[in-house]
Amino acid sequence: MSLVPFKELMAEAERGQYAVGYFESWNLESLQAVADAAEATHSPVILGFSGADLSNPMRMVKEHLSLYAAMGIAACRRLSVPACLLLNESPRLDWALEAINLGFGLVMFTDENLSFDEQLSRICQVVKKAHQVSAAVEGELTPLPGVYGGLSTNPPPLVGGGRGGADDLHLTDAIQARTFVERTGVDTLAVNVGQVHLHGRSKVSLNLSRLVELKEAIPVPLVLHGASSVHRADLKEAAKLGIRKINVGSVLKQSYFEAMRRACMKIGDDYNPYDVVGSGLENDVLAAGRMALQKVVEDLMRLFGSADKA
């Protein structure tokens, strides 16, 4: 099945009433773990990388998006299940536009430091370029509170007569969201129905009644970010109620890191460096992280209802 357009992936998810997971990768091992999980569970999948992380000017090592594009596209093409490649949450317009040129099927531009009108204008630029090559664009009104989104962030001005109010500080307003989609032309919208970025160390419940309201009002597929900090039962119910894409990040890096840490603790001072790094054998710490990550992704694919849908 290989690479498929994002809209096709979402159309199938809507017909089957399930959510497709975006499991964020950061290197070759994590990318392969997600791809292998999709094959093992016969699940459609969205592969991809963080535009915020890769383009961060504070990085100790600089990254070239073209290398990640080549790696991601190759991973998608070798799969027998439907797959799409995403550059997620890029705060740089040039990276979002370059991603389209490089073959990413889905891109997301977001910069919470911009005014609402500035953000809107740049998203429209991305949409125009993406649609010229049949790529898709994901949008969001406000970032989630917590990591990558301050708890005191003010919501943008209501552009469609939304209700707002203190209780709705971070929850997506249905009227405002519909107007945003109509003005930008985005193909999918990330909504907030109670999520908070908490690195998965505590869990929140979703406002499922708000989700139903959003599903009825918004004409494009809905996306849920911050899944690592949401109760499992709520994730399952959200997929049933209309969420068609679920983003997972923190819990993947945690499982990868913890598995490698346990593997490192077993290694004595007389270790063979060729054995413990890159051999793919029993003592390889990278393989330990990759296998642990794959198990987590397989479990989430079943939870989202996408297993055996490819």
CA-based end-to-end distance of the chain: 9
Low-confidence ranges of the chain (pLDDT < 70): 1, 147-169, 200
Residue 52 sits at the vertex; the CA angle it makes with 46 and 54, to the nearest 5 degrees, is 85
Q: Name all contacts of 53-57 with Cβ < 8 Å and 24+ positions apart.
A: 53/26, 54/95, 55/90, 55/91, 55/92, 55/95
What residue type is 128 in one-letter code?
Answer: K
CA distance 182 to 293: 38
CA distances from 278 to 6, 255, 264, 265 (A): 33, 19, 13, 17
Tokens at 240, concatenated: 């049933």
Residue 198 sits at the vertex; the CA angle it makes with 197 and 203, to the nearest 5 degrees, is 105
Buried b (16+ CB within 10 A) or exposed e, 243-273: bbbbbbbbbbbbbbeebbeebeeeeeeeeee
The per-residue DSSP string of 162-179 comes to ----GGGSSSPPHHHHHH
Residue with tokens 């009002």: 217
CA distance 76 to 85: 7
To the question of domain 6-254+291-304 being in CATH 3.40.50.720, the answer is no
Q: What is the structure's pLDDT at 147?
A: 58
Q: What is the structure's pLDDT at 201?
A: 72
Q: What is the structure's pLDDT at 197?
A: 77
Name, in order, each residue with C-beta under 8 angstroms of 233's C-beta and a sequence gap of 6 or more. none
Q: What is the structure's pLDDT at 143?
A: 81
